[in-house]
Chain A
């Protein structure tokens, strides 16, 4: 007997609202809806016993919540909600040690194992889902971001706005009979490269640009007393001010115009150049790098810094993954800082000093988000007698650099961990002494503050100085047992906000209803990775590479360490989206005071599941850390 249409339709309607069913074909959904049984479980009853084995039917929660409890780690209960499937292990089969208990009255669709197999054979989306890993979910999540924000990107892209919005200033114009010299003087006085030639009714009849000056005036030796009409380009490309920027671009491309005259009711009202229009198109990485390289002063760099934000926004909208995204931001910020130093160097005499600018914290790990503030330091090497003199010169330079970076939009470090602070502008010997004291006599509080120093990386100057310091640290750290244990204990202090009754434990008070993605999320991964790196003598500073190398040392499978890295990157991505106002349907940037906070329940269903899984990975990582280092 086949299921009546009404039941099929109602079931499919429900399934379609959830992954992976949303991506399955109608035929496969009909198969699923027609073969499931609906079962009821009162609150507190066991839905799937841990011992039920591989022949257990697949459950899809229709209503209510179910808690998954791993017998090996009872504290790691995960809460599953409507649309979620269980039991699903890594290979799409039940995991023997995990049991499922209804936390409230629950209805579940059940699909027998044999039918599940048939569905896997027929539906690629379902098969993929069953062979589920964090990776597939992550992929889907990025796809959703892409879909969600391509609309936003279109709106941002001002190519659809009328070209009048691009007119920057009142046009400079003259009559046809104006002597060439007078026209050039006007252009020079107004600081423009283009002058429009108009008739008595202000209608554009020609255009003259600085490019024409060479070919039509200077080289032919034209008479500067003659009328401008003799050298102008007659009947210039003109469009009405209501034309969209898109169309204007098309007109330029077709006729190879470099300038367009904009008219209102036929009369001249502005001139736009190719550059004005091209700036509207997506800011590309290349463009930003060139803008940084070409910047002649701090003022010009400010524009480039703003472009980095736009680029990050666009990459986010295009669904870029967190790792390349944060790396992009990091390398652009590096380029920005290097250019800034080059500009500043002219004012500072650093001759004869070997110095190296160190990036610390997230910058050192190349994991900058948009709200990251400055964390930097200086290491230098000079002959002993000149040390204090060198320090003074470096401090002056560093102070100026810190202020200039702040002017570019990288906030000053509230804890004053900056190169301009004498405490962090040290010689190589002094740095070694400082690290040695942390390693030898660690105090938990002091270590918390010291964390970011261990993530140092050379940014500018003599990189070998930083490398030597790193080599030394990698050698001595693994033997500092007490230090490592404290480091691990600190990393275990944070608790992933996973709930027992609800999926997430949100905060109260000022940040009511939100969770801190940094303090209770990414930091756990960062701290654990740092502890592992120092314990195993890993020179890497990035969290993901550190975890990968540590995993190899611990004999973990690539898949396992990959899951940690994926979880970390997902949390980073959420932070970036929160900071750029991409979280939730409301849009608008997050309140500046809490750039890393989000309301987890405002996320879409898929992201909620991802977040849950990522936080669960944080917990697993903590457990690993506890077992290896905290004992």
Chain B
């Protein structure tokens, strides 16, 4: 039996075990970007100025409740453009490399996994890269859940989710299609991925879809990032993913 305070205790232990510089950076980050006030500010930011971070994760498997993060790719979209210099990629060092099947999907070999960046440092760096921005993913639920758990386990923090789901926003803004999977939408817009089964390549494609979504949202009258959140919520309430 795990009590809520058990987890809180565990998180504190994890934080205590972090190296001092990491802990300091984490505290700074908390004050600046992860508080409730930053969330309100974020919602009010005009769409044309807002910064979003398109995220894709490679994980040890498809299970939302127990699989771990192997690699993170993220590409920022700010002021309605995707800046090449504003992108992030990291492979997290694993204690034991993930199963062979999974390696085949992600093509991140055991050697590379074991040789990746120290997970706490990589995750912290990602949080710093993301800052107060909304994260955006296709089927964001999965990424939000897995990433949230990874952050708890490695950094001992719970961060606000702040994920926008393209799988909801796309059908909301481009209704009347049968598109369901990411591949469907890529084909719909004629987008060609810049790489295959790579977190960064997928994040880049996600960012391109986001550009399309932002343009359509603005035409529809959306003014702020908060309007996007509301749009997503409405679509979720409609319960339609297509």
Contacts and interface: CB of A to CB of B under 8 A. Distances in A.
Given A6-B201, A10-B194, A37 B89 contact: no
The interface centre, meaning the residue of B83, B89, B129 with most chain A CB atoms within 10 A of its CB, is B83
A2 B195 CA distance: 19
A415 interface: no
Contacts of A3: 84-85, 87
A107 B198 CA distance: 22
Interface string A1-25: 1111011101100000000000000
B200 interface: yes
B81 A37 contact: yes
B88 interface: yes
Interface stretch (A38-46, A423-431, A491-499, A618-626): A38-46
Nearest to A41: B215
Interface of B: 75, 80-89, 129, 189-190, 194-195, 198, 200-201, 204, 207-208, 211-212, 214-216, 219
Given A6-B201, A40-B208, A1 B85 contact: yes
A7 B190 CA distance: 19
Nearest to A4: B89
B117 to A, nearest CB: 13
Contacts of B189: 105
Interface of A: 1-4, 6-8, 10-11, 33-42, 45, 63, 105, 107, 110
A15 B211 CA distance: 21
A494 to B, nearest CB: 36
B200 A39 contact: no
7 smallest CB-CB distances across A and B, nearest first, come from: A10-B194, A40-B211, A37-B81, A3-B84, A38-B82, A39-B81, A37-B83
B195 A6 contact: yes
The interface centre, meaning the residue of A2, A38, A110 with most chain B CB atoms within 10 A of its CB, is A38
Nearest to A104: B190
B84 A38 contact: yes
A37 B211 contact: no
28 contacts: A1-B85, A1-B87, A2-B85, A3-B85, A3-B87, A4-B87, A4-B200, A6-B198, A7-B75, A7-B200, A7-B204, A10-B194, A10-B195, A10-B201, A10-B204, A38-B81, A38-B84, A38-B208, A39-B81, A39-B211, A40-B212, A41-B215, A42-B212, A42-B219, A45-B215, A105-B190, A107-B211, A110-B81
Contact of A6 (B83, B89, B212): B89
A395 B171 CA distance: 82
Contacts of A4: 87-89, 200
A45 B211 CA distance: 14
A33 to B, nearest CB: 6
Given A4-B87, A7-B84, A107-B208, A42 B198 contact: no
Given A7-B204, A40-B208, A35 B84 contact: yes
Contact of A1 (B81, B86, B201): B86
Contacts of B129: 1
Contacts of A107: 208, 211
Nearest to A32: B84
A8 B211 contact: no
B87 A63 contact: no
A105 B215 CA distance: 11
A63 B86 CA distance: 21
Nearest to B214: A40
Contacts of B211: 38-40, 107
A392 B119 CA distance: 102
B84 A40 contact: no
A42 B198 CA distance: 27
Contacts of B81: 37-39, 110
B84 A33 contact: yes
The interface centre, meaning the residue of B84, B86, B208 with most chain A CB atoms within 10 A of its CB, is B84
Contact of A34 (B84, B89, B207, B208): B84
